[in-house]
C-alpha cells in the first residue's frame, strides 16, 4: 500500500498579466519520496515550489498539507538579513522539539564555524548556511530550489549522501544531472503549465519525455488529418437533399478549436559563438607560477602549455584557488613568481560566476549596450528581437526589466551577450548555474565543438565529462596537476596512480625498517604500523566491492513498481543503500588519510 501524501497540490493555476504560467499543475509528496521537478527555464518550477511552501498564492488551487507535517523550503537566494551570525540564522529554522546539536553537526560538515557574519559570506558559503537551516529540523517535507549552485564537488557529494540518509520527502529542482540521478526516485515534468509524473528517477526522464513528445506530435498529425476529412464532408458531402448534421458540424468546430489551441513544445535555444580570427597555436604558457594571500599558498610552482583547441576544466573545493589560477592564466592577475605568456591574436570572452546585472536595465539595452536596436553577430547586423528569439525570449520581453526574469532566464541572457562577442578563447566560470536541461545540452555542444580554446570552471561532473579534454585539479598545499580527459577520467587516474604507490610504500617501509636501528626517532617516523599497511593494501578492494553493491541496490530501487509492490523491501533497501554509501565514504576518507600519511613519511 502506497504511503499517504504529506503534501498535495492539485489543479494549480496561476496567471501573470493575462498570460497563464500554470494551467493544471499537480504535486504530491509522501514520506521518503525523492522527486525531481524538471522543466524549461521560466516554466514555473520555482513558483510551484513556492506555492507548495505556502510562500506564494495560486489563482486556482486545491492544496492539502498534513496538519502535523513540517515543511522546509530552500530558495535560490536566501535572505539572511537581521541575523548577526550564521549560527543564529540556522538555529532560527529550528522548531521547539528540534535538536540544537544537529546545527553544529551540519555546520561542521558544510565547512562553517557558525560565527561568520551573513553579509560577508561568499555565494557558496551562503548556500551552505541555507542548507544547514533547512536540514537541521529534519523536516517531513524538504523543498530544494537549485541546492547545488555555488557548491564545490566535495560538498555536492556530501549533500547527496545526507539526502539519501534522511527520511524526509524530497522535491528538488536542479540543473545538475548527476545530482538528480543520484537523489531522485520519481520525476515530475512541468511543461506548458501542466505536470506529468514518471515513477522513476531522472536517469530515465529524457527517454520518457522524448517518447511523450513523439506521441503528442503523432496525435496532432492525426487530428489535422481528421479535420481535413470532416471539412471535405462539410463541403462535398450529400447535404443538399437533407438537413446538415448539426452535431457533426459542432464537433468539427471543436476539433478546429483544439488544433488552434495546441501549444507546441517551446523551441530550442540556438547557441553559436561568434567567430573571431584564429589564434596562434600556442594560446597560454605558464611557467612555475605561484600565488599566495596572507601566508596561504593557493598556487605553488604550476606550469602548463595550453594549445588552440584545448578545452580545460578547473575543479576543486571552494577556496582552493580555481578563480585565482584562472585569472593568472588569462593574464588578469599577475603571479607572485613565475611567468605567463599569452599567444597571439587572442580575443577573449568571459562569463563571471557572480553575474552582476543591473536589475532595472531592459533586455534590449543590455544586449546592445544601449546602442540602438541591433547587435552584430558573426559580422552580420541583426535586430535584437530576432537575436533574442535564438535564446527563447519573446519579442514582448525586449523592454522587460531584468529584475522580472527568472534565474535561468538571466543565465540565458548573459550567454546571449557573451556569444555575440567575437572570441577564440572562452573563459567560463560556473556557466551551468540555473540553466535548464535543454539549454545545458546546447551549451555542452557549443563548448565541445568550439573551434577555439575553452577554460572552464565547473562543479557539474556530467558537464565536465562531456566537454573538456583535460582537467586541472588541486592536490593540496597549492599543488595543481593536469589530468587527461574529463572528471571521471581524473578520478580513475588518481586511483590507478595510488595503487602502485601503496605497494611501493609497503616495500619501502619494510626495507627502511631493516636499515635503521629500532627505537630511534627516524625509524619511528618512517614506519607505518601493520594495521595501517594492511588497510592501505585492502581498502581499495573493499571500496570496489561496496561500489558494486551500491550499484546493485540503486538498480533495484530504480524499479518504479517496487514501492507499490513491496513497500517494506523498498524501505529496507533504502536504509541499506544509505548505510553502504556512508561506509564507502568512511573507507575513502580513511584511505585518503593513510595515503597522506604515507606521502608525509616518504617526504
The DSSP line for 128-179 is: HHHHHHHHTT--SEEEEESTTTT--HHHHHHHHHHHHHS--EEEEE-S-HHH
Give 416-452 pLDDT, tens digit per residue: 888 888 888 989 888 887 777 777 887 888 888 888 8
- Domain 282-485: give its CATH superfamily: P-loop containing nucleotide triphosphate hydrolases (3.40.50.300)
Asked whether residue 578 carries a pLDDT value surpassing 60, the answer given is yes
Rg (CA), the chain: 28
Choose the weakest-confidence range: 10-24, 124-138, 502-516. 502-516
Report d(CA 413, CA 402) in Å as an integer. 9
Structural contact between residues 45 and 37, judged by C-beta atoms closer than 8 angstroms: yes
Return the closest-CA partner of residue 450 out of 471, 413, 422.
422
Domain spans, the chain: 5-70+139-200, 86-134, 218-261, 282-485, 494-602
Assess whether pLDDT exceeds 90 at residue 314: yes
Q: How far is Cα 188 from Cα 9, in angstroms, rounded to an integer?
A: 13
Please answer whether residues 149 and 126 qualify as being in contact, where contact means their C-beta atoms are separated by less than 8 angstroms.
no
- Whether the Cβ atoms of residue 124 and residue 318 lie closer than 8 Å to each other: yes
Q: How many angstroms separate the Cα of 578 from the Cα of each of 137, 349, 447, 553?
A: 19, 43, 36, 10
Q: Tell me if residue 412 falls in helix, strand or coil.
A: helix
Residue whose grid cell is 553537526: 105
Q: How far is CA 258 from CA 193, 235, 245, 462, in A?
A: 17, 21, 20, 40
CB atoms under 10 Å from CB of 325, counted, come to: 27
Q: What is the DSSP string of 358-381?
A: -TTSBHHHHHHTTSSSEEEETTEE
Tell me the pLDDT tens digit for each residue of 371-401: 888 888 777 888 888 888 888 788 888 888 8
d(C-alpha 415, C-alpha 404), whole Å: 17
| Three cell numbers written together for 13 | 493555476
The order of strands in the sheet holding 337-342 is 296-307, 282-293, 337-342
CA angle 160, 440, 27 (to 5 degrees): 55
pLDDT of residue 86: 94
Query: What's the pLDDT tens digit per position in 79-95?
Result: 898 899 999 999 999 98
463-479 average pLDDT score: 91
Beta carbons of 9 and 133 less than 8 angstroms apart: no
Judge contact between 425 and 283, C-beta under 8 A: yes
State residue 105 phi and psi, 5-degree precision.
-60, -45
C-alpha–C-alpha distance, residues 18 and 322, integer Å: 46
Number of other CB atoms surrounding residue 115 within 10 Å: 11
- Superfamily for 5-70+139-200? P-loop containing nucleotide triphosphate hydrolases (3.40.50.300)
Q: What is the pLDDT of residues 155-182, one digit of tens each?
A: 898 999 999 888 899 999 998 899 999 9
Name the percent of the chain lying above pLDDT 70: 83
Residue 231, all three cell numbers: 471539412
Q: Is 335 helix (H, G, I), strand (E, B) or coil?
A: coil
Within this chain, domains 5-70+139-200 and 282-485 share the same CATH topology: yes
Averaged pLDDT, 473-500: 85
Instruction: For residue 48, give the H/E element and its range.
Output: helix 45-53
Q: How far apart are CA 67 and CA 458, in angstroms?
A: 41
Is the pTM here over 0.95, yes or no?
no
User: From CA 97, how far away is CA 46, in angstroms rounded?
Assistant: 29
Secondary structure of residue 329 in the 3-state scheme? helix
DSSP code of residue 405: S
Residue 598: which pLDDT band, with cuts at 50, 70 and 90?
A: confident
Q: pLDDT band for position 603 (50/70/90)?
A: low
The predicted model gives 481-506 an average pLDDT of: 76
- pLDDT at residue 444, as a whole number: 84
In whole angstroms, what is the distance from residue 64 CA to residue 80 CA? Answer: 29
Amino acid at each position: 500500500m502506497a504511503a499517504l501524501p504529506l503534501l498535495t497540490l492539485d489543479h494549480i493555476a496561476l496567471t501573470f498579466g493575462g498570460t497563464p504560467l500554470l494551467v493544471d499543475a499537480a504535486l504530491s509528496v509522501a514520506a521518503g519520496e525523492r522527486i525531481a521537478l524538471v522543466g524549461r527555464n521560466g516554466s514555473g518550477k520555482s513558483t510551484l515550489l513556492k506555492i507548495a511552501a505556502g510562500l506564494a498564492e495560486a489563482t486556482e488551487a486545491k492544496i492539502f498539507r498534513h496538519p502535523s507535517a513540517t515543511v522546509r523550503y530552500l530558495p535560490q537566494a536566501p535572505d539572511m538579513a537581521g541575523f548577526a551570525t550564521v549560527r543564529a540564522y540556522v538555529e532560527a529554522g529550528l522548531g521547539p522539539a528540534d535538536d540544537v546539536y544537529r546545527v553544529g553537526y551540519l555546520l561542521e560538515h558544510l565547512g562553517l564555524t557558525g560565527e561568520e557574519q551573513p553579509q560577508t559570506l561568499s555565494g557558496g558559503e551562503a548556500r551552505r548556511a541555507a542548507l544547514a537551516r533547512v536540514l537541521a529540523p529534519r523536516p517531513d517535507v524538504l523543498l530544494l530550489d537549485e541546492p547545488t549552485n555555488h557548491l564545490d564537488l566535495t560538498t555536492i557529494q556530501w549533500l547527496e549522501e545526507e539526502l539519501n540518509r534522511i527520511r524526509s520527502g524530497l522535491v528538488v529542482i536542479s540543473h545538475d544531472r548527476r545530482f538528480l540521478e543520484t537523489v531522485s526516485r520519481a520525476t515530475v515534468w512541468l511543461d506548458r503549465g501542466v505536470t506529468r509524473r514518471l515513477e522513476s528517477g531522472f536517469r530515465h526522464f529524457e527517454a520518457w519525455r522524448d517518447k511523450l513528445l513523439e506521441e503528442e506530435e503523432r496525435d496532432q498529425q492525426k487530428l489535422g488529418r481528421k479535420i481535413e476529412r470532416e471539412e471535405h464532408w462539410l463541403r462535398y458531402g450529400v447535404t443538399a437533399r437533407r438537413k446538415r448534421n448539426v452535431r457533426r458540424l459542432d464537433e468539427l468546430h471543436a476539433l478546429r478549436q483544439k488544433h488552434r489551441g495546441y501549444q507546441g513544445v517551446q523551441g530550442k535555444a540556438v547557441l553559436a559563438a561568434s567567430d573571431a580570427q584564429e589564434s596562434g597555436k600556442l594560446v597560454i604558457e605558464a611557467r612555475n607560477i605561484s600565488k599566495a594571500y596572507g601566508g596561504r599558498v593557493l598556487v605553488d610552482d604550476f606550469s602548463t602549455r595550453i594549445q588552440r583547441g584545448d578545452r580545460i576544466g578547473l575543479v576543486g573545493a571552494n577556496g582552493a584557488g580555481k578563480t585565482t589560477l584562472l585569472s593568472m592564466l588569462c593574464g588578469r592577475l599577475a603571479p607572485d613568481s613565475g611567468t605567463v605568456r599569452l599567444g597571439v591574436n587572442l580575443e577573449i570572452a568571459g562569463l563571471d560566476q557572480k553575474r552582476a546585472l543591473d536589475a532595472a536595465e531592459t533586455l534590449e539595452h543590455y544586449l546592445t549596450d544601449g546602442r540602438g536596436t541591433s547587435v552584430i553577430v558573426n559580422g552580420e547586423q541583426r535586430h535584437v528581437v530576432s537575436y533574442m528569439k535564438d535564446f527563447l525570449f519573446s519579442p514582448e520581453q525586449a523592454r522587460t526589466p531584468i529584475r522580472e526574469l527568472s534565474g535561468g532566464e538571466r543565465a540565458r541572457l548573459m550567454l546571449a551577450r557573451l556569444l555575440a562577442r567575437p572570441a577564440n578563447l572562452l573563459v567560463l566560470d560556473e556557466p551551468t548555474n540555473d540553466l535548464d536541461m535543454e539549454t545545458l545540452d546546447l551549451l555542452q555542444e557549443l563548448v565541445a565543438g568550439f573551434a577555439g580554446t575553452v577554460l572552464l570552471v565547473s562543479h557539474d561532473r556530467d558537464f565536465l565529462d562531456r566537454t573538456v579534454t583535460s582537467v586541472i585539479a588541486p592536490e593540496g598545499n597549492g599543488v595543481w596537476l593536469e589530468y587527461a580527459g574529463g572528471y571521471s577520467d581524473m578520478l580513475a587516474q588518481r586511483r590507478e596512480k595510488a595503487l602502485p604507490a601503496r605497494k611501493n610504500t609497503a616495500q619501502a617501509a619494510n626495507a627502511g625498517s631493516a636499515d635503521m636501528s629500532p627505537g630511534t626517532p627516524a625509524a619511528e617516523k618512517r614506519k607505518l604500523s601493520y594495521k595501517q599497511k594492511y588497510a592501505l593494501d585492502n581498502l581499495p578492494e573493499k571500496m570496489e566491492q561496496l561500489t558494486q553493491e551500491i550499484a546493485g541496490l540503486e538498480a533495484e530501487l530504480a524499479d518504479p513498481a517496487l514501492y507499490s509492490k513491496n513497500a517494506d523491501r523498498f524501505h529496507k533497501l533504502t536504509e541499506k543503500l544509505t548505510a553502504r554509501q556512508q561506509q564507502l565514504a568512511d573507507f575513502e576518507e580513511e584511505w585518503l588519510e593513510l595515503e597522506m600519511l604515507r606521502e608525509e613519511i616518504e617526504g
